[in-house]
Structure 1
Amino acid sequence: MADEWVNYYEILQIAQAADVPAIRAAVSKERRTWIKRQASADPARRAEAELRVQQIDRAEQALLDAASRSAFDERLARQRSQPQAESTAGEGDWLERARAYMAMGNPGAAHRAAREATNLRGSDHEAWALRAQASFLTAQFPDAEFEFAESIRLEPENYDYHHDLGEVYSEQTKWAQAMREFDIALRLSPNNPVTRTAVAQIHLATEDAPKALVVMESVVSGNPDNEYFKYYLAAALEGVARQSLTLLRDGAIVATSEAQVQRLEQHADRIAALRLSDPDAAEAVRDLRRMAGASREMRWEHSNVGGWITGLVILMCIGCGGLNSDGGTGTAMALLCALPLMAGLVYLYVHLHRKPAWQHADAIFRSTNLIVRKGI
């Protein structure tokens, strides 16, 4: 198409009134989505993904700077006020128009054009797939299910179609169906890192972080510079650290052992070592380190034992005075002899009552027989 105008709000799938945190979140989400697609074996899909990543980068620069955003909004208003040309598309170019709309970041228009293409050529698997991609990007997941199913019916051995249908099922938390499609995709493209990462995402969503970590360790070892894969390795590391903690009946998740605290620290260090630019990763590092620090914080826990020890010390002082009625010097000597025992009693009290927070949490757990989250 001649008009190369790109609506950055549509690229990020956000409203024009979105605030800065919403823009940052959308940039992170869309960037992960399209970086993943850059690993496609299909040159056309790979080129589309590379273009979209560039557009997301430009959208980030334009919308996070107040002056640039104001200028873009003015241009957007002018663009919307211009009369739209009548469509003259014929049978042969609806699919190309759909691709152009997708490149412009307008999946709604892409879907309408692709629908025209499938109406004219119902046996064109590419038209059905493009229509499905547009439905997916606009969160019309039931439509995307049907449209990808049609593209698969027409082209059953296409890796991308099975993977994308798996993504559609994942968005709807239909984990079994998603796994089925990902298994087929991996049969067609063995060890494909994108699909293996999608499988790891299901493990994370179903609270099986150890399996996700095994998958992502392998994926990242073969693709050490890929930001997308490293992001989900970080997510798996965080998931394993959190799932190893103890779940109390009141819903609190706490460390109750030194091993759990060490895991929080070690996994925070590993995530930091990945040097990810995504703010979610930095937040995960801060959270894990904060939890570890809070778990190591020394706390007092008082009990009636303190009163008994105080009373015993007083009795010892009185006894020392009574046994040495010959004068102050004898009393002082007796007290001096009793000091080691007094010091030992004070040490015992401190030892029993001043502990790291994780030990206090462990004592609470053991005394109240609360629920334990499975250790890892």
Structure 2
Amino acid sequence: MALDNYYNILGVAQNASAEDVQKAISEKRREWTPRTGHPKLETRQLAEQTIKNIAEAESILLDPAKRRDYDQQLAAQVAAPEPTQAGPTQGRDWLQIARDYLVQGNSSQANYAAREATTQQTENPEAWYIRGLSSELLGNNADAEFELSEAIRLNPNDASYHAELGDLYKNNELWNKALPEYTRASQLEPSNVYYSAFVGLSEGALGNIEKAHDLLKAAYEKLPDDETIRYFYGLALSDMITRTWSTYHDGSQSILTENQLNYSKEKLAIIDSLKITDVGFVNDLDEIRLNVERAELVKFWSFGGMGGLVFGEIVTIIAMFVFFGIGQGFVVLGILCLALAVLWVVLFVRSHRVPGWKWNWKQSPAYVRQTGLQ
């Protein structure tokens, strides 16, 4: 029996690090999990098989001993000749053959059969859909765009066709094209939570953060246990956090107000409740968390002006002793000097030992203070 090439399934090199393998596993799960609820049987079966393959890849490639053994088996299999495929014959049901190959995970054969199917049935939207899906899996994006568009032209009311074209655009970060396709899919099939979630994801990528948040929050409330939905909702929440921060000319951001700090802490608490394990997301969130912790931390951020304080204290204390030494009516002046010495220390502490957000505010130019949540 042929050995599945888990590296090809995940889209990573054979010498990929464990971290890269884990990242690819998370990405592939997010890509294929929504398709397990696909209305089309062949796509649903393909998604289920792919999810199973991803789980097997995770079990083997993240275990050093199993991975070494697997690599040896894979090397031996690659050295063996590939079996010869039977050539095409007249009268075959190429659409069904394409479906079968697709479910088996053989994208190249599925694509060949689908091309034959579109030749046999030029006006069959399903043939064009299978052809487009297989082209997409092969990375032939231009072909896939044309073929999926043909499926939509022939049947514009099939939500899955629009969603698949949206996936193609999403995977290539063409969000302005992905949004209308996902929107149309969601309109045609409002009950599909994934479609509305992808609308939210597209809105977020296009900078419409609040709309993205509302859509993804609604999706999460409907499917709170879905890992992909939780991840998308977490992305929206993290964008909501940084959107409130003040921004410098170079694009860097910082927390300058107490409202920004409190808002960030509130959203972080929600994100933590989602229990997202994606490595890339966790790393990005750690950077946000460090900024929040720094903004909340109360400490001496600078000792600038300490020399002036010490000099002033010395002069004031000397004056105090002089006035106390003179006695009589100068005692009041001595008390005032003592009070002044204490006041200077209090003012220095209050101006230097502050929360991080207040220190950031003091150090930032006026134009930065006017940005972000006030």
Fold shared, TM-score > 0.5 on shorter chain: yes
Distance 1:10 1:244 in 2: 41
The answer as to 2:244 corresponding to 1:244 is: yes
User: Which residue number in structure 2 is paired with residue 235 of structure 1?
Assistant: 235
Identity of aligned residues (%): 28
Is the 2:125–2:150 contact (alpha carbons within 8 Å) kept by the matching residues of 1?
yes
What is the root-mean-square deviation of aligned Cα atoms in Å?
2.9
Which blocks of at least 5 consecutive residues in structure 1 are unaligned?
none
Is the 2:183–2:196 contact (alpha carbons within 8 Å) kept by the matching residues of 1?
no
User: Which residue number in structure 2 is paired with residue 351 of structure 1?
Assistant: 350
- Alpha-carbon distance change, 99 to 72 in structure 1, aligned in 2, over 3 angstroms: farther
TM-score by length of 1: 0.87
Deviation at 1:206, TM superposition (A): 1.7
Deviations 1:196-234 (A, max 9, x none): 111111122122222111001111111121111111111
Is the 2:129–2:161 contact (alpha carbons within 8 Å) kept by the matching residues of 1?
yes
Distance 1:18 1:58 in 2: 17
Deviation at 1:128, TM superposition (A): 1.6
User: Which residue number in structure 2 is paired with residue 68 of structure 1?
Assistant: 66
Distance 1:157 1:354 in 2: 64
Deviation at 1:294, TM superposition (A): 1.3
Larger deviation, residues 57-66 vs 336-345: 336-345
Deviation at 1:324, TM superposition (A): 4.6
Is the 1:6–1:105 contact (alpha carbons within 8 Å) kept by the matching residues of 2?
no
Deviations 1:20-52 (A, max 9, x none): 222111111111111111222333322321221
User: Which residue number in structure 1 is paired with residue 9 of structure 2?
Assistant: 11
Secondary structure of the 1:355 match is strand
Distance 2:194 2:324 in 1: 85
User: Which residue number in structure 2 is paired with residue 192 of structure 1?
Assistant: 192
- Alpha-carbon distance change, 326 to 231 in structure 1, aligned in 2, over 3 angstroms: closer
Deviation at 1:346, TM superposition (A): 0.4
Deviations 1:277-309 (A, max 9, x none): 3334433443332121111232433455x5554
User: Which residue number in structure 1 is paired with residue 302 of structure 2?
Assistant: 301
User: Which residue number in structure 2 is paired with residue 203 of structure 1?
Assistant: 203
Distance 1:97 1:320 in 2: 100
User: Which residue number in structure 1 is paired with residue 225 of structure 2?
Assistant: 225
Letter in 2 for 1:343: V
Secondary structure of the 1:84 match is coil
Deviation at 1:150, TM superposition (A): 1.4
Distance 2:127 2:240 in 1: 42
Is the 2:361–2:369 contact (alpha carbons within 8 Å) kept by the matching residues of 1?
no
- Alpha-carbon distance change, 372 to 169 in structure 1, aligned in 2, over 3 angstroms: farther
Deviation at 1:124, TM superposition (A): 3.1
Deviation at 1:345, TM superposition (A): 1.5
Is the 1:97–1:110 contact (alpha carbons within 8 Å) kept by the matching residues of 2?
yes
Is the 2:320–2:338 contact (alpha carbons within 8 Å) kept by the matching residues of 1?
no
Deviation at 1:341, TM superposition (A): 3.0
Deviations 1:309-365 (A, max 9, x none): 4444333333334335569xx999986774333112200111112222211211233
Larger deviation, residues 291-300 vs 239-248: 291-300
User: Which residue number in structure 1 is paired with residue 216 of structure 2?
Assistant: 216
User: Which residue number in structure 2 is paired with residue 156 of structure 1?
Assistant: 156
Letter in 1 for 2:236: A
User: Which residue number in structure 2 is paired with residue 79 of structure 1?
Assistant: 77
Deviation at 1:154, TM superposition (A): 2.4
Instruction: Count residues in correspondence.
Output: 371
Letter in 1 for 2:30: R
Is the 2:46–2:105 contact (alpha carbons within 8 Å) kept by the matching residues of 1?
no
Letter in 2 for 1:245: W
Secondary structure of the 1:369 match is helix
Distance 1:101 1:78 in 2: 25
